[in-house]
Structure 1
Amino acid sequence: MMKLSSFSSFAVSLFYEIMNIWNTTSDFILLGLFHHTEAHLFLFSMVLTIAFGSLMGNALMILLIHQDVRLHTPMYFLLSQLSLMDMMLISTIVPKMAADYLSGKKSISPAGCGLQIFFFITLEGSECFLLASMSYDRYVAVCHPLRYPVLMSWQLCLRMTVGSWSLGAADGLMQAAATLSFPFCGAHEINHFFCEAPTLVRLACADTFVFEYVMYICCVLMLLVPFSLILISYSLILAAVLQMHSREARKKAFATCSSHLSVVGLFYGAAIFIYMRPKSYRSANHDKIVSVFYTIFTPLLNPIIYSMRNSEVKGALRKCMGQCAALHHK
Structure 2
Amino acid sequence: MAIKTIQTLTQEAIALLKQLIATPSFSSEEEKTALLIEAWFTANNIPFKRENNNIWAFNKNYNEALPTLLLNSHHDTVKPNQGYTLNPFEPLVKDGKLFGLGSNDAGGCLVSLIAAFTHFYEAENLPYNIVIVASAEEESSGPNGLNSVLKHLPNLDCAIVGEPTEMQLAIAEKGLLVLDVVVEGTPGHAAHPNDNVSIYNALNVIEWFRDYIFEKTSEVLGPMKMTVTGISAGKQHNVVPAECQLMVDVRVNDCYTNAEVLEIIQKELAGKALVKARSLHLNSSSIDKNHPIVLAGIELGRATYGSPTLSDQSVLYCQSLKLGPGSSPRSHTADEFIYINEIEEGIRLYIAILSKFLNQNI
Same fold (TM > 0.5):
no
More strand by share: 2
Q: Which has the larger radius of gyration?
A: 2
